[in-house]
Amino acid sequence: MTGRVKTTLTRWWTEWIRSVLLIVLLITSFRSAVADWNDVPSGSMKPTIFEGDRIVVNKLAYDLKIPFTTQRIMAWDNPRRGDIVVLYSPADGKRLVKRVVGIPGDTVAMSEDRLVVNGVTISYAPPTSELVNGLTPGSKGKLIATENFGKTGHAVMVPSGAHCRPAFAPVRVPDGAYFVMGDNRDESFDSRYFGPVSRKQIVGRATHVAASVDPERHYRPRWERFLHPLR
């Protein structure tokens, strides 16, 4: 390598490459430990989240992790019933978006398509337009209902009549784990299949829909869902 070429490479490294690498490292570290977005490819969280939504994930909602790892540095909160969380599936490691329905120590069951937590059947009511954001899906054989956790309520899509999925027996959520389910109860791969999720597998809490497109309409923007809060 000639001195001239070496000088040129050194200048590129000093003026460009090093700066670009530093920016990439900062951005990826921020996305890994502070906040990120997550594309939603499936309808397992309908009618709360739709295919084509891009959701904001607050990774500081519960703790601070070392970037690019699941190792916690500090923790200040834990997921609560009703939180929408992003997690790594215990089955295959894929990132999923689900709702927490059981926290450590809870006993969770489902009877006649109604969620039962600690022996108490969760109350249901007709949905409000605010909950479904005016986008009630017209899936055949499905019903929309408001599922109430304490003072909060969220819309869920439940099967009707012959479409009902069999109930499951009570499951106790072990310490350090959470029982998660999709709001589209009959079309969600969740804790009913892979069991409770370890606390360290939870990435953060989903807070808003950042942007949304409709895959069935040539990816047209759903403007009404931009910056839509999730609950």
**Active-site pick, 44, 188, 191, 212:** 44
| Residue range of the domain that includes 16 | 1-33
d(CA 145, CA 142): 10
Residue 199 tokens, joined? 């606390």
Residue 1 scores a pLDDT above 90 = no
Residues 129-181: pLDDT tens digits?
544 444 444 444 567 888 988 667 888 987 665 445 567 899 999 999 999 99
Greater pLDDT, 105 or 164: 105
Query: What is the rounded distance in angstroms from the CA atom of residue 150 to the CA atom of residue 153?
Result: 8
- pLDDT computed for residue 143 by the predictor: 76
Cβ(174)–Cβ(64) below 8 Å: no
Beta bridge pairs of residue 102:
179
Is 44 marked active-site?
Answer: yes
Amino acid at the residue 155: A
pLDDT 10s digits, 13-65: 566 666 666 666 666 666 666 668 788 888 999 999 999 999 999 989 998 88
- Count of the separate structural domains present in the chain: 2
Does one domain contain both 26 and 104? no
Given the residues 46, 98, 139, 142, select the one marked as catalytic. Answer: 98
Task: Give the tens place of pLDDT for each residue, 203-226.
Answer: 999 999 999 999 989 999 999 999
Of 72, 71, 96, the C-alpha closest to 181 is 96
Could you give the CA distance from residue 81 to residue 84 in angstroms, rounded to a whole number?
9
Q: Which one has a higher pLDDT value, 230 or 14?
A: 230
28 and 119, same structural domain? Answer: no
Secondary structure percentages of the chain, helix, strand, coil, to 5 = 20, 40, 40
Same domain, 190 and 128: yes
Is residue 125 located within the same domain as residue 214?
Answer: yes
What pLDDT does 72 receive? 80
> Do both 122 and 169 map to the same domain?
yes
Q: Say whether both 27 and 66 belong to one domain.
A: no
